Amino acid sequence: MKKLLYTLMVTLIFISCGSNTNESKSLSDDDKMKLVEKRILQKKVQSAMGMIKSKEFEIETIKKLGDSTFQAIHNFTNPLMDAEMRLTNYYVFRTDLDSILLDSGLKSQMKVEGDWIDMW
């Protein structure tokens, strides 16, 4: 009886460890880019602490730099400054593209008199 119980436990452990609940490996390139866009929008809303909603962000471009690295340019209106902003960020994702490991700002710009002006 103990051997049967031990065998069932070991089998259950191997099955649970071997199953992959993440489906990003089977996604098409188009669906992977949609997942990346979704995660970037979620990250921006989170970093704005809810002051800016995801529908207020507009992603201009997402450029794939490597398997899990991307550069994105996105626009939004900053409610505190009442100004249109454009951010260029570098993102490093986990290999399964499920979450962002690193979010690094490359450039911040503000629209002044119709032109994008670098902030830093």
Enter the tokens of residue 35: 């997942």
The mean per-residue pLDDT over the stretch 110-120 comes to 91
Q: Where are the domains of the chain?
A: 28-118
Alpha carbon distance 89, 61 (integer Å): 11
Enter the tokens of residue 14: 């191997």
Residues 6+ apart with CB under 8 A from 67: 95
Nearest to 91 by CA among 111, 61, 117, 55: 61
pLDDT band at 13 (very low <50, low <70, confident <90, very high): low
We find that the CATH architecture of domain 28-118 is Roll (3.10)
Interval 28-65: pLDDT, tens = 888 999 999 999 988 888 887 777 777 778 899 999 99
